[in-house]
């Protein structure tokens, strides 16, 4: 199960991580966000040991979403060394996720 981030643990778990972290920004009621859940679970297995896979509910953590300019969901942001490294917006299957992010871990 992907990690769950919030405003209280985001800095420590994501920005201070020595391992790359792929974060799905999502919101309740977002169908494409829900469709991404199995993709994120598959990514977690596929990239075990190379990346941390997690998610954050923007409805409960608006300050984090605003800090990174998240305007639509789902938004996936790869964080490396405390910085937002790459971003993609919208649903993607595991092949698209791998193409967009997999080589960066």
Active site residue 33: yes
Q: Which residues pair with 3 in a beta bridge?
A: 54
Which residues 6+ apart lie within 8 Å of 51 measured at CB?
A: 19, 20, 21, 22, 43, 105
Buried b (16+ CB within 10 A) or exposed e, 5-19: beeeebeebbeebee
Q: Where are the domains of the chain?
A: 3-98
Cβ burial of 3 (10 Å; 0-12, 13-18, 19+) is middle
Considering 33, 52, 56, 64, which one is annotated as catalytic? 33
Tell me the CATH number for domain 3-98.
Answer: 3.40.30.10
Q: What is the full per-residue pLDDT of the chain (105 aa) written as tens digits? A: 899 999 999 999 999 999 999 999 999 999 999 999 999 999 999 999 999 999 999 999 999 999 999 999 999 999 999 999 999 999 999 999 999 998 898
Considering 30, 39, 52, 78, which one is annotated as catalytic? 30
């Amino acid at each position: 199960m992907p990690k769950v981030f919030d405003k209280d643990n985001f800095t420590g778990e994501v920005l201070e991580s020595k391992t790359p972290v792929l974060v799905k920004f999502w919101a309740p009621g977002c169908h494409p966000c829900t469709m991404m859940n199995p993709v994120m679970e598959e990514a977690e297995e596929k990239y075990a040991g190379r990346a941390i896979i997690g998610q954050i509910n923007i409805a409960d953590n608006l300050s984090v979403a605003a800090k990174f300019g998240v305007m639509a969901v789902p938004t996936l942001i790869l964080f490396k060394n405390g910085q937002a490294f790459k971003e993609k917006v919208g649903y993607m299957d595991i092949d698209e996720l791998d193409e967009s992010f997999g080589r960066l871990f």
